[in-house]
Amino acid sequence: MLQMTLNGLKVEVEEGMTILEAARFYGINIPTLCYLEGLSPYGACRLCLVEIGAPGPSKLVTSCTYRVEEGLVVRTDSERVVKRRQMLIELYLATCPSSRVIQDLASKYHVTKVRFAPWNEDCILCGLCVRMCAEQMQGKAIGFAGRGSSRRVTTPFDKKSEECRLCGGCMYVCPACQSRCQGPQEEQPLCNACLNLEQPCLDYFDDKMCYMDPCVACELGSNRESQAKR
Ligand code: FES
């Protein structure tokens, strides 16, 4: 066991734990977007930042990837940490303004204004969906493509993936709903029809992937059609 100081409390933690795991063990909440227990930490969203070291020469580290050390001093909610989180939340709100998860974070951290121009990507590139598919579902049906501002999550060659088993795990873990149905969009490889609940997609968009099997949208659409005929 190691001794460390967590928000002023002297605590004992197991060697090998991350700061995030230690904090959660002691009931201290640290917000996360790209971390999920059971998936390898990725350190992409930076929301789990904490301050380590004495107040003077301290530094910010991502608690989901930083392992505890003997004598480590950690502050999970210092002014510096909160300010940095607020700025990140602003950025994520600009990227994904309709994400319920990010809206809730904004409310919790009193972020009421966004200084960045909205660009409505609906993806924060946290990689949760990619890791869920590869590590839990052994699928590798989706991955990252492109670099810099063109980086995005997609299927190989933007085509329907033979690896996808329609488990929906990627949608389940997505904090920004990028993979959830957003309505038919011809530019994307995902079907995305079920949210609109319109008769879409599998005939008309036959080279696109639909995660629902059977597709809720198609089912509802055909029910409506048959009711209308009656
Ligand atoms: S949760 Fe640690 S960087 Fe995203």
How far is the C-alpha of 180 from the C-alpha of 35, rounded, in Å? 19
- pLDDT > 90? residue 67: yes
pLDDT at 197 (0 to 100): 41
How far is the C-alpha of 125 from the C-alpha of 25, rounded, in Å? 28
pLDDT at 172 (0 to 100): 81
| Model confidence band, residue 199 (pLDDT cutoffs 50, 70, 90) | very low
Q: Which atom of ligand 1 is nearest to the CA of 45?
A: 4
Q: Give the residue, out of 19, 48, 88, with the most ligand 1 atoms within 8 A of its beta carbon, to mutate for a pocket test.
A: 48
Q: Where in the chain is the domain with CATH 3.10.20.740?
A: 2-79
Cβ count within 10 A of residue 169: 20
pLDDT at 77 (0 to 100): 94
Burial class (CB in 10 A: 0-12, 13-18, 19+), 164: buried
pLDDT at 165 (0 to 100): 78
pLDDT digits (tens, 9 = 90+) for 12-27: 999 999 999 999 999 9
**Angle (deg, nearest 10), helices 79-95 and 100-108:** 150
How far is the C-alpha of 28 from the C-alpha of 34, rounded, in Å? 18
Average pLDDT, the chain: 81
State the average pLDDT over residues 155-184. 74
Q: Considering only 64-73, 124-133, 171-180, which range has the smallest mean pLDDT?
A: 171-180
| Model confidence band, residue 201 (pLDDT cutoffs 50, 70, 90) | very low
Residues with CB under 6 A from ligand 1: 32-35, 43-48, 62, 64
Calculate how far, in angstroms, residue 224's C-alpha sits from the geometric centre of ligand 1: 44
Could you please state the CATH topology (level 3) that the domain comprising 2-79 is classified under.
Ubiquitin-like (UB roll) (3.10.20)
Q: Is the pTM of this model over 0.85?
A: no
